[in-house]
Amino acid sequence: MVQFKNVFTGQESRNYQRAVTSQKSLRAGGKHNDLENVGYTARHHTFFEMLGNFSFGDYFKEEAIYHAWNLLTKEFAIAKEKLYVTIYHTDEEAATYWKKIANLSDDRIIKIKTTDNFWSMGDTGPCGPCSEIFYDHGEQVKGGLPGTKDQDGDRFIEIWNMVFMQFEQLDSDNRIELPKKSIDTGMGLERISAVMQNVYNNYETDLFKEIIAYTENIVKVKVEGEAKFSYRVIADHLRACAFLISDGIMPSNEGRGYVLRRIMRRSMRHAHILGSSEPLMYKLLPKLVDLMGTTYPELRRAEDFASNILEQEEIRFKATLERGLKLLDDETNHLSKNSELSGEIVFKLYDTYGFPVDLTEDILKAKQISIDLDGFNNKMQEQKERARKSWLGSNESKTDKMWFDIKAEFGSTEFLGYYLNEAEGKILALIKDNKLVDTIETSQEKFTLISNQTPFYGESGGQMGDIGYIKSTNRRENHQGRR
Ligand code: ATP
Ligand code: MG
């Protein structure tokens, strides 16, 4: 819904008042993070396709409920007995419509008191109650109704969430009714596919089955027992990685690039569990492109590039993965259940062997061992301090401060040179005579340019820096570099 944010608040208007969407969604970092659920539940992915319908001051609660109910029970012919709904506990209006439109009995309209059923963008701004629709996959699947202690099981699965945006939160005490009430809904394509294909597990739906069968053919381990779990993680992460790369994200140690790298490394560990001695992920890409490349042409356009990145990243990680796993094994063999692995080892795994913290955490989950996150953070801090101290810099504290400030504000420049000799980037800062400046006036001036990413290797540790050209089509913002 991010693209409609300003439409809801009225800051922006469109020449339409209703919309339907099919959106690529990623929940692997930040506010929504389902990375650790992947493989463990039947219903979570890192990357999934979300279908939505929206009203901007047009239809509201009654019609939204009508449309949802009609689509599910008439168009999709889902049996009414299979469906339950939740509402926010004070939203009597929604309860009334559910009874009127769907003829649902009270025990099928579950009142939820938590913020799970009250949506807001932040502390202020548009907000409102939600109503979610759940599908019952039957008593052979473990799990309880929403609001019960077993709600996280996979028996009752949320397939659709409707947000009734009817208020604006002005400050912590004041909430007013919005003059133009709006609707924002989201339904996971993979979850509704499972329902329509009569399976309870998303990973048993057609697209996933094909990817898993293709992988099995290469890996030659049967999809059963523990291996099934690895196959599912690999299939999920393959999609996430391919879509992220096709959207221009590169693996790196910061920001979005690190979200990608973490997903990549998790899948690579599962490839390792399945006994794959050669890099695996890039070999699966053609199957994914075959399945989804028509709907998402960017996947096909980026195929060669993504294949190269996946292969290189796996070659690099393979070099340390096995030794890291051995260290982890040695360090945890003597630990009992419910104990903690020291922050020092977690840091060593991160720093020397390239294990993202959540990868270590995920591996230890099976042994019921947790990690000392505070200890890890201390080690990270110490390393930063060491870097600061060993910084030779200019010896002039004012100049050094400027560089540290730049690093703090913009983060590291992503180095693309492992994969590319030419790339586009965004200029983040200009420096002239050891000062940050807004503009460079003439072509005679000598200056330093900081960009978010670059194919140029920096001069460091005795290595020569790269030399090349930087071109700008729009002098105010962009640069293109060629080595
Ligand atoms: P859950 O409690 O099952 O994690 P949610 O409350 O996080 O679901 P919403 O944030 O309301 O889900 O997202 C709207 C819809 O998107 C859900 O009804 C579901 O169909 C789908 N969805 C959400 N998260 C995922 C995911 N990780 N993988 C696949 N589909 C998802
Ligand atoms: Mg969720």
Residue 295 has pLDDT above 60, yes or no: yes
More confident residue, 8 or 119: 119
In CATH, the architecture of 397-480 is Beta Barrel (2.40)
Tell me the CA–centroid distance for residue 158 and ligand 1, in Å: 7
Tokens of 91: 């939203």
Can you tell me the distance from the alpha carbon of 362 to that of 28, in angstroms, rounded to the nearest whole number? 14
**What is the distance in A from the centroid of ligand 2 to the CA of 186?**
12
pLDDT of residue 481: 62
Tell me what pLDDT residue 477 has: 47
Residue 432 is encoded by which pair of tokens? Answer: 């002239």
- The identity of residue 293, as a single letter, is G
Q: 389: Cβ–Cβ under 8 A, 6 or more apart, which residues?
A: none
Q: What separation in angstroms does the CA of 123 have from each of 155, 184, 288, 446?
A: 33, 19, 40, 46
Ligand 1 atom having least distance to the Cα of 188: 20
Residue 425 has a pLDDT of 83
Count of beta carbons in the 10 Å neighbourhood of residue 408: 8
Q: Which atom of ligand 1 is nearest to the CA of 191?
A: 20
Q: Give the per-residue pLDDT at 155.
A: 97
348 close to 383: Cβ distance less than 8 angstroms: no
Let me know the angle formed at the C-alpha of 183 by 46 and 201, rounded to the nearest 5 degrees.
30
Domains of the chain: which residue ranges?
2-196, 205-319, 334-390, 397-480
CA distance 112 to 146: 8
For residues 445-469, give the mean pLDDT. Answer: 83
> Comparing C-alpha atoms, which of 455, 477, 457, 479 is closest to residue 466?
457
Q: Which atom of ligand 1 is nearest to the CA of 158?
A: 18
Asked whether the domain spanning 397-480 has the same topology as the one spanning 2-196, the reply is no
CA distances from 307 to 238, 276, 289 (A): 11, 17, 11
Atom number, ligand 1, closest to the C-alpha of residue 34: 27
User: pLDDT digit string (tens) for 57-110?
Assistant: 999 999 999 999 999 999 999 999 999 999 999 999 999 999 999 999 999 999
Report the length, in residues, of the chain: 483
Contact 154, 202 (CB under 8 A): no
Q: Note the pLDDT tens digit of each residue in 210-227.
A: 999 999 999 999 999 999
Name the residue at shortest CA distance from atom 2 of ligand 1.
158
Digit-coded pLDDT (tens) for 397-428: 777 778 878 887 887 788 787 777 888 888 88
Residue nearest atom 9 of ligand 1, based on CA coordinates:
161
pTM of the model: 0.85
Task: Judge whether residue 479 has pLDDT over 60.
Answer: no
Distances in Å between the alpha carbon of 233 and those of 147, 213, 288, 290? 28, 14, 14, 20
438-463: average pLDDT: 82
Question: What's the alpha-carbon Rg for the chain, to the nearest Å?
Answer: 26
Ligand 1 test: best mutation among 161, 164, 208, most atoms within 8 Å of CB?
161
In this structure, what DSSP letter does residue 38 have? B
478 or 453: which carries more pLDDT confidence? Answer: 453
Question: 2-196: what CATH class?
Answer: alpha beta
- The verdict on the CB of residue 45 being under 6 Å from ligand 1 is yes
Task: Tell whether the model's pLDDT for residue 274 goes beyond 50.
Answer: yes
pLDDT for 476 equals 57
Residue with the bigger pLDDT between 126 and 70: it is: 70
The token pair that represents 335 in the structure block: 């630990």
pLDDT given at position 141: 96
Please indicate whether residue 49, judged by its CB atom, sits closer than 6 Å to ligand 1. Answer: no
Segment of 5-19, 157-171, 389-403 carrying the highest mean pLDDT: 157-171
Q: Give the Å distances, CA to CA, from 113 to 73, 154, 155, 157.
A: 27, 21, 21, 19
User: How buried is residue 411: exposed, middle or buried, by Cβ count under 10 Å (0-12/13-18/19+)?
Assistant: middle
3-state secondary structure of 336: coil
Tell the residue nearest (CA) to atom 27 of ligand 1.
44
